[in-house]
């Protein structure tokens, strides 16, 4: 079986959904289709949660009415007249559930459930549309099998067992449709895989059912060797290793959810990144195969906060680093980069929800300096630090102030920390210095 995931822009209009239907028809074999919410719908659901928390039922109902109109119009465009009432009824039932939830007293536990309604609505309509055009399929409720208690290490074997049990009770089908983004957490509550999590759904399911391959369809022709929004003359990369793709996704490449690659590495299931609107384009294949070494691509991650802990007590102090790390562990905050000297530690985080509490705890260990509005620039390639050409990246130190450099933690990655207002200049300068000579080899 193949897993095909279609993102919000891929299913953002009736015409786009017709295009997706043609893609599905042209993919051979059994297929499990994972869909996101329509483009913009999750943003509206976020607004609903905000008004729900504020007790503003008028605005909640106003946004729900707008979502109804949006989805009813989609049904009218896609579903034949003779079948339309049945689909309206299904969608009405979903909206009734949303209204019921938002009629309750506010609870944090209800927020995630509200955010998943976009996927429920779109998957229902999409499944009905496929059936109406001759692609028989069964609609699966992801809440029956997407039990993911640990986001960092999903239990794909458990997901696989639950999936097979669920499907066996429905009977065999060549095409299944389900929702991305949604999961059941360790408290048996409806939760999410966080924004962009439908990619993660696809690879969790791909690993769970030991899929032949995973196709992630979006609105970009695969990974580029730099960010085309800021840098001219970038090109798509036809192949990346799992490690290269994981580094690029984690450090800001928007095409892929940061944790997408991890579930399938051990099972060696290839991932294909394709463009829904130019399906003939080659896109990017991600696999264990190494087709080339050295410099490959650059990505950038914004919203980085740098923290410096300066203390004369550090020198030769046994256990000092452990105590520093314990502070971040206690506040469930991951560290991206770290550098040390005899009297100081500098590190970065991208989650500042607990920053005040972290700073309060760190003040016991030394003088604390906090710098916001930074970006991590990540240079990636298989065996990167063994490539002589990599040394050229340090030439940018002549022109751009670099706050931190992480080199040697991985042979596939060098990371730079710069102020965000220098990000674009850094991306452009690195592109000129690193890819001007190597560009012909990088596309293979």
Chain segment 260-270, per-residue pLDDT in tens: 999 999 999 99
Q: For 374-418, write each residue's pLDDT tens digit.
A: 999 999 998 888 888 788 888 888 889 999 998 877 788 899 999
pLDDT digits (tens, 9 = 90+) for 265-287: 999 999 999 999 999 999 999 99
* pLDDT for residue 441: 43
Give the Cα separation of 44 and 64 in Å (integer): 9
3-state secondary structure of 55: coil
Tokens representing residue 192 in the block = 């999410």
Among the listed residues 443, 425, 415, the one whose alpha carbon sits nearest the alpha carbon of residue 231: 425
In the chain, residues under CATH classification 3.40.1160.10 are 2-219
Residue with tokens 């070494």: 293
Architecture of domain 297-442: 2-Layer Sandwich (3.30)
Q: What are phi and psi of 51, to 5 degrees?
A: -70, -35
pTM above 0.85, yes or no: yes
CATH code of the domain made up of 2-219: 3.40.1160.10
**C-alpha 255, offset from chain centre:** 8
**What does the DSSP 8-state code read for residue 372?**
E
**pLDDT at residue number 258:** 80
Share of the chain above pLDDT 70, in %: 97
221-230: pLDDT as tens digits? 889 999 988 9
Q: What is the end-to-end Cα distance of the chain in Å, rounded?
A: 27
Q: Which stretches of the chain drop beneath a pLDDT of 70?
A: 314-317, 437-444
Residue with tokens 């895989």: 193
CATH 3.30.2130.10 maps onto the chain at 297-442
pLDDT of residue 314: 67
């Amino acid at each position: 079986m193949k897993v095909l995931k279609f993102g919000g822009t891929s299913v953002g209009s009736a015409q786009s959904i017709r295009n997706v239907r043609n893609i599905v028809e042209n993919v051979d074999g059994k297929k499990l289709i994972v869909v996101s919410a329509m483009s913009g719908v999750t943003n509206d659901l976020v607004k609903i949660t905000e008004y729900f928390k504020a007790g503003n039922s008028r605005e909640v109902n106003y946004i729900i009415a707008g979502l109804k109109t949006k989805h009813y119009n989609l049904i009218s465009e896609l579903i034949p007249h003779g079948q339309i009432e049945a689909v309206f009824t299904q969608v009405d039932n979903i909206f009734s559930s949303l209204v019921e939830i938002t009629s309750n007293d506010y609870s944090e536990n209800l927020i995630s459930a509200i955010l998943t309604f976009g996927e429920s609505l779109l998957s229902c309509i999409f499944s009905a549309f496929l059936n109406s055009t001759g692609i028989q399929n069964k609609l699966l409720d992801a809440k029956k099998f997407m039990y993911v208690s640990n986001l960092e290490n999903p239990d794909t074997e458990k997901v696989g067992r639950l999936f097979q049990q669920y499907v066996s009770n429905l009977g065999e089908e060549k095409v299944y449709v389900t929702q991305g983004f949604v999961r059941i957490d360790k408290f048996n509550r409806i939760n999410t895989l966080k924004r962009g999590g439908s990619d993660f759904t696809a690879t969790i399911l791909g690993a769970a059912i030991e899929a032949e391959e995973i196709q992630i369809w979006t609105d970009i022709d695969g990974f580029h060797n730099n960010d085309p929004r800021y840098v001219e003359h970038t090109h798509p990369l036809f192949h990346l290793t799992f490690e290269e793709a994981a580094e690029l996704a984690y450090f800001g490449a928007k095409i892929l959810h940061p944790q997408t690659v991890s579930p399938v590495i051990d099972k060696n299931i290839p991932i294909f990144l394709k463009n829904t609107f130019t399906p003939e384009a080659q896109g990017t294949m991600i696999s264990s195969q190494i087709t080339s070494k050295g410099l490959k691509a650059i990505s950038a991650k914004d919203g980085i906060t740098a923290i410096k802990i300066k203390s004369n007590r550090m020198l030769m102090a046994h256990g000092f680093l452990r105590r520093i790390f314990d502070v971040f562990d206690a506040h469930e905050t991951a560290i991206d980069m770290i550098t040390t000297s005899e009297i100081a530690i500098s590190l970065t985080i991208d989650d500042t929800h607990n920053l005040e509490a972290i700073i309060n705890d760190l003040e016991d260990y030394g003088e604390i300096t906090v710098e916001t509005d930074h970006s991590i620039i990540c240079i990636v390639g298989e065996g990167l630090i063994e490539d002589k050409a990599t040394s050229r990246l340090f030439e940018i130190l002549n022109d751009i102030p670099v706050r931190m450099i992480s080199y040697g933690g991985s042979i596939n990655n060098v990371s730079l920390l710069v102020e965000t207002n220098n990000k674009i200049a850094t991306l452009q300068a690195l592109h000129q210095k690193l890819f001007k000579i190597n560009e012909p080899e990088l596309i293979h």
